Amino acid sequence: MAWLQRGRAGRGYLAAALLVLMPAGASLAAGGTCERIVVTGNADYPPLLWVNPDDTSRLTGAAVELLENALQDSGIHVDALHVGNWEQAQQEVRSGRVDMLAGSFLTPERFTEVDYVYPPYMEIPSVIFVRRGEAFPYSGWDDLRGKRGSSLSSSSFGAAFDTYAADHLDVAAMPGIEQAFEQLLGGKVDYLIHERHQGLALAAQRDVLGQLDILEGSLINEQLYYSISHHSACNSPTLRGALAKGMYQMVRQGEPRRLLEKYRDKWAAQFAPVPEEEPALE
């Protein structure tokens, strides 16, 4: 019965989160200008995005602050909400109940659902994680043939690799990073495909970083974008123009890289051991 209770709790949590979203339609001023946008994304994507430990209904991370900075001059307020897992986040944006995704790769399927904000704000390298000391020769995708791999079920690594993997590779879809690490470290698979920054951050959180190696050379590099729902009441030339202008300035100034480092440190600080207090001198 525990799974049923968790399922009911999850649905209740999502419903409560969506109640918070209800005023989003009221975020339009009299002139039709959007004064507030609701953004969500993959809540398991540090240091770019994760659940705010001080308020679990909201998200924090480099992607949130970067968007806030890009829109600062426009006066548009950013509300970053946690609405569930990555699949749920995408569904809320498809429906227009949430205005934006705080990070997604460009795929042909999404062209029918969202408008991408240019320029992209970061290049994300995806790499191959293996057990420490069990690296194998790797010079290209063909070297993965005949081996057992895994990735997260919600992950995409670009149309070219996704198609190649479906046709030639044995890659099991894992429901979450916990199961993915367990399969790899337990010897059930030979490698795990995951984004480099996020994989390292999540491995550090789970204290398994010392049990992993990364094969030399990235699997693939994909550009990460903000994207706006076609059904968002805020999707207008005014918003798209403000986003494009703000993001151009942010990228030109190197803000994405600075914020990545800032939030990498903030993420790591959550798991740092608390120093023991020195005994008071009598």
**What are 156-177's pLDDT values in tens digits?**
787 788 889 999 999 999 988 9
Tell me whether residue 61 is exposed, middle or buried, using C-beta atoms within 10 angstroms of its C-beta: 0 to 12, 13 to 18, 19 or more.
buried
Predicted confidence band at 27 (pLDDT cuts at 50, 70, 90)?
Answer: low
Count of domains for the chain: 2
205 lies in some domain = yes
**Residue that terminates a domain, selected from 186, 206, 221:** 221
Same domain, 204 and 259: no
Same domain, 214 and 233: no
154 lies in some domain = yes
Pair of tokens at residue 46? 């540090």
157 lies in some domain = yes
Predicted local confidence at residue 38, as pLDDT: 97
Same domain, 66 and 92: yes
| Contact by Cβ (8 Å): 51, 43 | yes
**Residue that terminates a domain, selected from 206, 221, 236:** 221
Same domain, 91 and 167: no
| Its pTM surpasses 0.85 | no
**Residue that terminates a domain, selected from 221, 238, 260:** 221
281 lies in some domain = no
Rounded to an integer, what distance in angstroms lies between the CA atom of residue 250 and that of residue 66? 8
Rounded to an integer, what distance in angstroms lies between the CA atom of residue 195 and that of residue 218? 9
Same domain, 236 and 208: no
Percent of the chain surpassing pLDDT 70: 84
Same domain, 141 and 261: no
Pair of tokens at residue 254? 């190197």
Same domain, 107 and 138: no
Predicted local confidence at residue 271, as pLDDT: 72
State the residue range of the domain holding 211: 126-221
Predicted confidence band at 220 (pLDDT cuts at 50, 70, 90)?
Answer: confident
